[in-house]
């Protein structure tokens, strides 16, 4: 199987940088792939990424699928908000949209995510939508401890000095 007609969805900092939601000076060591379509194309894509890493002296995990463990947390209708950032002969690369990037960064809640969120300066309306997103995750059975952490991130973003 070649790479013809492969769709790749990026999340994380690479998605934010490529869509202009994070500043150009923001750096990241990898590109987080949360979805590859069609089914079966992921192995070919990752083999190609490994070849690029060898040729260019990049870390072997510069393109990785570690974020797929968070796939269950992708907000509903994310496809409608994804932005195409590259179209080539072999593939199309999409990045998660702004609101979904904010949601996923609140959900992940690492220190770098909080820094990214502060630089994105989400509006009150966006933060309200994140709150609704967290309520939906709770209704789906997301562990309470994880949601508590995400709600703490959300609360810190609502503080006046956070913006």
Residue linked to tokens 């947390």 = 73
Residues 36 and 84 grouped into a single domain: yes
Number of domains, the chain: 2
Distance between CA 94 and CA 101 in Å, rounded? 12
Give per-10-residue mean pLDDT for the chain (163 aa).
76 96 93 93 94 96 93 89 94 96 95 95 96 96 93 92 55
Residues 15 and 75 grouped into a single domain: yes
Q: Per the structure block, which two tokens stand in for 30?
A: 């990898």
What does the pLDDT read at residue 1?
Answer: 46
pTM for the whole structure: 0.89
Rounded (to 5) percent helix, strand, coil in the chain: 55, 15, 30
> Half-sphere exposure of 151 toward its Cβ, with a 13 Å CA cutoff?
14
Residues 39 and 113 grouped into a single domain: no
Residues 42 and 13 grouped into a single domain: yes
Out of 74, 97, 120, pick the residue that ends a domain: 97
Residue 81: partners with Cβ closer than 8 Å, 6 or more residues away:
96, 97, 98, 99, 100
Q: Is 99 left (phi over 0), alpha (psi -120 to 50) or beta?
A: alpha
Q: Per the structure block, which two tokens stand in for 82?
A: 């994804």
Domain presence at residue 1: no
Q: Give me the helix-helix angle, 144-158 and 111-120, nearest 10°.
A: 40
Out of 97, 124, 145, pick the residue that ends a domain: 97
Residues 73 and 132 grouped into a single domain: no
Residues 37 and 90 grouped into a single domain: yes
Residues 77 and 117 grouped into a single domain: no
Determine the structural domain holding residue 67 and report its residue range.
6-97
């Amino acid at each position: 199987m070649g790479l013809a007609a492969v769709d790749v969805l990026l999340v994380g900092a690479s998605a934010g940088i490529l869509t202009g939601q994070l500043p150009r000076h923001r750096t990241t060591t990898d590109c987080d792939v949360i979805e590859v379509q069609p089914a079966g194309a992921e192995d070919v894509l990752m083999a190609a990424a490994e070849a690029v890493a060898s040729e260019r002296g990049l870390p072997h995990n510069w393109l990785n699928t570690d974020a797929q463990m968070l796939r269950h947390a992708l907000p509903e209708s994310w496809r409608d908000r994804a932005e195409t950032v590259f179209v080539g002969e072999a593939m199309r690369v999409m990045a998660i949209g702004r609101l979904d990037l904010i949601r996923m960064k609140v959900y992940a809640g690492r220190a770098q995510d909080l820094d990214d969120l502060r630089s994105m300066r989400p509006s009150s309306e966006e933060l309200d939508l994140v709150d609704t997103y967290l309520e939906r995750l709770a209704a789906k059975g997301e562990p309470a401890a994880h949601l508590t952490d995400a709600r703490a991130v959300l609360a810190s973003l609502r503080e006046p000095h956070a913006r």
